[in-house]
Amino acid sequence: MIFKQLFDKKSSTYTYIISSGKGREALIIDPVIEHTEKYLNLLKELDLKLVKVIDTHIHADHISGLNELAKQTSCSKIMGERSTSEVLDIKVKDNEKIKIENIELKSIYTPGHTDCSYSFFMNDRVFTGDTLLINGTGRTDFQNGSSYDAYDSLFKKLLKLPEKTLVYPAHDYNGKTHSTIENEKNNNPRLQVKSAEEYADVMSNLKLSNPKMMDIAVPANKKGITLQDLENR
């Protein structure tokens, strides 16, 4: 299997390129528009054909590369069915399969950080978006976020996955690349709560400022802008 984890320093975003092997189909999860060229070069180098691009949710801290990648490769743009993006080709339901050659992902609806947040499970690993981070969890104070929904997504869905499952989040701010469900269950400070009420209490006391890019990124990601649109601004 080909599995590449790429990092955007500006937004601390992780992007994933997945394929069953050289010369085969590929998919990308959570691309950042500024790195489009880098992704395309890497795909070319590995002789991969990009057929699907997925965003885990509408991002507030960077502009997604989903639309630009689709423009340049004709790959399908995919998000969960609760997404308000106007440019999607496929909206997946909870528990629906996304397939490319020899690779299968299963969507898991994990609202809380936003109401359009989905995680994607693949064999031994799960892409958790901003629902579950390494030693943290996604904030729940905008984009129809809900700490109660987040609690259910975490405790009733993600933490119920096999303990050895590798966790690949959409961000990390401390240089960590991945974790496991077991490790997060035991050590993630946000997950050491006894009830949804306690979790909501922790989350409401975070007092975070809004992401710098929020007012630009959220509308751009709903509309699905391209590099050309960015240049013309």
What is the binding site for Fe ion (CB under 5 A)?
130
The Cα–Cα gap between 226 and 232 comes to 10
Q: How far is the CB of 56 from Fe ion (least distance, A)?
A: 8
Q: How far is the CB of 33 from Fe ion (least distance, A)?
A: 15
Nearest to Fe ion of 200, 213 (CB atom) = 213
Compute how many other C-beta atoms are within 10 angstroms of the C-beta atom of residue 3: 11
Nearest to Fe ion of 25, 130 (CB atom) = 130
> Phi/psi at 156 (nearest 5 deg)?
-95, -15
Nearest to Fe ion of 22, 212 (CB atom) = 212
* Diameter over CA atoms, the chain: 50
Q: How far is the CB of 61 from Fe ion (least distance, A)?
A: 6
The Cα–Cα gap between 80 and 89 comes to 11
C-alpha angle 36/41/46, rounded to 5°?
130
Q: How far is the CB of 126 from Fe ion (least distance, A)?
A: 16
Residues 27 and 54: beta-carbon distance below 8 Å: yes
Q: How far is the CB of 173 from Fe ion (least distance, A)?
A: 13
Which residue's CB atom is positioned nearest to Fe ion? 130
Q: How far is the CB of 179 from Fe ion (least distance, A)?
A: 18
Nearest to Fe ion of 142, 148 (CB atom) = 142
Nearest to Fe ion of 75, 138 (CB atom) = 138
Nearest to Fe ion of 130, 172 (CB atom) = 130
Q: Quick one: 208 exposed, middle or buried, by C-beta within 10 A (0-12, 13-18, 19+)? A: exposed
Spatial neighbors of 41 by CB under 8 A, at least 6 apart, are none
Residue type, 171: H
3-state SS, residue 70: helix
